[in-house]
């Protein structure tokens, strides 16, 4: 089974209209890339990024969505609104949302369902904290997050799982390639048990946490790693295009 790799950039709370040029540069520099390229800017930029990327190989995604399609939820954005703005993907359950907004697994599951209702591909994030890893609980935590956050009707075409150890995000630290391989094999096994071998074999599982031009090739070569979810290093086209090339 060949799974096409994905290089996904998560801009987090970075970017204004001045950064449209950076997207233009990325589109130029990654022309002909073998991997799928995705940029998830802040919500304020989605429509303009989607407009600029229209007709190119670069897809645009949201960083979060509300489970409901509309309603009295000040400040929230529905998956349907992301789709209307031109997004094709949405990240749900990022550890920063799990921590900053106390998002539980059941809410993340509802957000993934909302993404599918709106026709978006859902990138569901999981990953242990440093304390959980030190306590030998990394697999247990990731298994619980997968069980709780991934809806029962998940299919490989509309789901991507991102394994992001919380202690590796924005820290410059990464697990060893052996540790990444072990966790990705574990995640695929969990998917196999719950959804069966064909789904598990076809579902992309990304690694995230301090992916940089200097380590991307090594990480993406690990068995069961189908690309990366990249924060800091996705903000500059020159860095991110090297990561896209490493995923090719």
CB 184 within 8 A of CB 163: yes
C-alpha 179/C-alpha 130 separation (Å) is 14
In the region spanning residues 108 to 167, those forming contacts with ligand PGA, defined by CB under 6 A, are: 164
9 binds ligand PGA (CB under 6 A): no
In the region spanning residues 58 to 97, those forming contacts with ligand PGA, defined by CB under 6 A, are: none
C-alpha 127/C-alpha 183 separation (Å) is 10
Q: In this structure, what are the phi and psi dihedrals at residue 211, rounded to the nearest 5 degrees? A: -75, 130
Catalytic hit among 94, 96, 103, 190? 94
41 binds ligand PGA (CB under 6 A): no
How far apart are CB 200 and ligand PGA at their closest, in Å? Answer: 23
Query: Is 164 annotated as catalytic?
Result: yes
Written as six digits, the tokens of 9 are 């950039």
Task: Please select the residue that binds ligand PGA; options are 41, 61, 208, 227, rule is CB under 6 A.
Answer: 208
Of the candidates 9, 11, 70, 73, the one whose C-alpha atom is nearest the C-alpha of residue 37 is: 9
205 binds ligand PGA (CB under 6 A): no
227 binds ligand PGA (CB under 6 A): no
210 binds ligand PGA (CB under 6 A): yes
174 binds ligand PGA (CB under 6 A): no
Q: CA end-to-end span of the chain, whole Å?
A: 16
DSSP letter string, 158-221: TEEEEE--GGGTTTS----HHHHHHHHHHHHHHHHHHH-HHHHHHSEEEEESS--TTTHHHHHT
How far apart are CB 164 and ligand PGA at their closest, in Å? Answer: 6
How far apart are CB 145 and ligand PGA at their closest, in Å? Answer: 15
Q: Where along the sequence are the contacts to ligand PGA (CB under 6 A)?
A: 10, 164, 169-170, 208-211, 229-233
The residues that are catalytic are 94, 164
């Amino acid at each position: 089974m060949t799974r096409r790799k994905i290089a996904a950039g998560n801009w987090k709370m970075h970017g204004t209209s001045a950064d449209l040029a950076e997207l233009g540069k990325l589109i130029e520099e990654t022309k002909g890339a073998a991997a799928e390229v995705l940029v998830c800017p802040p919500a304020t930029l989605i429509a303009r990024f989607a407009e600029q990327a229209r007709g190119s190989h670069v897809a645009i995604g949201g960083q979060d969505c509300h489970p409901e399609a509309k309603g009295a939820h000040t400040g929230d954005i529905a998956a349907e609104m992301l789709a209307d703005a031109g997004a094709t993907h949405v990240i749900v359950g990022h550890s920063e949302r799990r921590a900053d907004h106390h998002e539980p697994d059941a809410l993340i599951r509802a957000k993934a369902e909302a993404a599918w209702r709106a026709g978006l591909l859902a990138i569901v994030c999981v990953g242990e904290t440093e304390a959980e890893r030190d306590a030998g609980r990394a697999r247990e935590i990731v298994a619980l997050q997968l069980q709780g956050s991934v809806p029962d009707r998940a299919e490989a075409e509309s789901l991507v799982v991102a394994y992001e150890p919380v202690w590796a995000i924005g820290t410059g630290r990464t697990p060893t390639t052996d540790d990444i391989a072990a966790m990705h094999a574990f995640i695929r096994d969990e998917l196999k048990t719950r959804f069966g071998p064909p789904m598990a074999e076809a579902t992309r599982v990304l690694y995230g946490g301090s992916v940089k031009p200097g380590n991307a090739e090594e990480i993406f070569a690990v068995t069961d790693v189908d690309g990366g979810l990249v924060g800091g290093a996705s903000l500059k086209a020159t860095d991110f295009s090297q990561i896209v090339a490493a995923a090719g």
